[in-house]
Structure 1
Amino acid sequence: MPSFVVVITGIPGVGKSTITRRAMERARVEYRLLNFGDLMFEEAVKQGLVKHRDEMRKLSLDVQKKLQLRAAEKIREIAEKEPVILDTHCTIRTPLGYLLGFPKDVIKTINPNFIVIIEAFPSEILGRRLRDLKRDRDVETEEQIKRHQDLNRAAAIVYAMYSDALIKIIENHEDKGLEEAVEELVKILDLAVGKYA
C-alpha cells in the first residue's frame, strides 16, 4: 500500500500542536501522530545509549545520524499500514548554529507527501511564548524568530527536492483565527481518503 506522510513543523510558540490536534479530530481519515525526537529517543534507549532525553545531545554526531535513520525506517514501516503525521523541527537552533532536522538519507527514507510549515508573525510568537508560563523556552528576539522561520522555509525546499513533497505554509495569526488554520490542515489530511479506505 502506498504510504501517506504529512510532516508538520513550526518553531516553538507558533501553535503547531494545537492546530495538529484539532485537525486530527476533524479529518475523515484517522492518522497516527508520531514525534521524530521521541522515536530517536526510544531507539537510543533500546540500544542502551541513553537513559534520559537530555543525554541525546551528548551523543556523537555519527550516532545521532544512525538514530535518525532508524527512526525514519520505523516511520516508513508504520506509514505503509496507516497514514502518518510526523511532528518535527525543520531546523534546530543550537548554540553553534542551526542544525537541519532531516539529513538527505533520512528525508529520502521518510519520503513525505506534504511538508506543512505553521507560521505566525514574530511578534505573535514572542507574545505566546511570554504568556506560556508552563514552558521553559530559550529567549529569542523577533529578529531571531523571523530568521528561524526563514530557515525553516529554506530547509523545507531542500527536503521537498529529495522527496517530491508539496510544501504548504499555514499561517496562524491572532486576527485570522485558529479555526482557519485548522481547516487548511484538514484539507491536506483529507487527501489520504481512498488510500486507506
Structure 2
Amino acid sequence: MPFVVMITGIPGVGKSTITRLALQKVNIKFRLVNFGDLMFEEAVESGLVHHRDEMRKLDPMIQKELQLKAARKIVGIARKEPVLLDTHATIRTPMGYLLGFPREVIETIRPNFVVIIEATPSEILGRRLRDLKRDRDVETEEQIERHQDLNRAAAISYAMHSDALIKVIENHEDKGLEEAVNELVGVLNLAVREYD
C-alpha cells in the first residue's frame, strides 16, 4: 500500500530546511519527493517552461494536467518506499490562488498525513527578502497571512478526500529551528509506526 506524508507551507516558511534536517534524524528512510520538481520536469519535457518560477504563470488547466501526471509518478514511488512529499497546498498565480491538489490529484495520491509548516507573516517576509536565489513575487504581510489561511483550508479539504491526519508545526525565529525539526521527526516516526 502506498505511504505518503505530505509537507506543505508557503514560500519562505522554512519547509525545505526543516524537511532536510528531519530526514537526517528519522528512524526509517523516506524518499523525499518535491511535487514542484516533478511538475517542472513534465513542463520542461512538454516545452512549456524554462525556469521553475514560470510554472505558477501557466494556464491553470495546464497546471492541473501537470499535477495529475506528477501524482501518478508519486504513487508509483510510494508503492516501493515511504514518501515525504515536499509541496505547496496552494499556489499564488496572477489570476488567483490555485489548489496544489485538486480533487482528482489528492484522491490519486491519498496521503496518510498532511503536515503544515507555519510562521508569522513578518518572519516569512524577512526570510523571503534574505533569499536572493528565488524570483518571488512581493507580498505584503496581509497577503502572506491570507495565503497561510488558505493553506489551512486546503489541508482540511485534502484530509476529507484522503482520510489523512493534519499536523501544524510552527517555525518561529524565537522558537528555534531545532524544535520544529524534532516535531517533524516525531510525526514521521509516528507515521511509520501507523504504517507498520
d(CA) in 1 for partners of 2:158, 2:32: 20
Pair 137,51 (structure 1): closer, same or farther in 2 beyond 3 Å: closer
1:50 equivalent in alignment to 2:27: no
Normalized against structure 1, the TM-score is what?
0.90
d(CA) in 1 for partners of 2:111, 2:8: 13
Pick the structure with greater CA Rg: 1
SS at match of 2:98: strand
The aligned counterpart of 1:20 is: 19
Partners of 1:27 and 1:190 within 8 A in 2: yes
d(CA) in 2 for partners of 1:63, 1:126: 29
Matches within 5 A, 1:8-157: 8-46=7-45, 48-50=46-48, 52-53=50-51, 56=55, 60-157=59-156
Deviation (angstroms), 1:23: 0.2
Normalized against structure 2, the TM-score is what?
0.90
Query: Which ranges in structure 1 are unaligned for 5 or more consecutive residues?
Result: none
Q: Deviations over 1:54-77 (max 9, x none)?
A: 665565544432221121111011
Partners of 2:56 and 2:91 within 8 A in 1: no
The aligned counterpart of 2:5 is: 6
What do you get for the CA RMSD once the two structures are aligned? 2.1
The residue type equivalent to 1:52 in the other structure is: H
Query: Which ranges in structure 2 are unaligned for 5 or more consecutive residues?
Result: none
SS at match of 2:132: coil
Pair 144,63 (structure 1): closer, same or farther in 2 beyond 3 Å: closer
The aligned counterpart of 2:167 is: 168
Pair 59,119 (structure 1): closer, same or farther in 2 beyond 3 Å: closer
Deviation (angstroms), 1:193: 3.8
d(CA) in 2 for partners of 1:194, 1:154: 27
Partners of 1:4 and 1:192 within 8 A in 2: no
Partners of 1:4 and 1:112 within 8 A in 2: yes
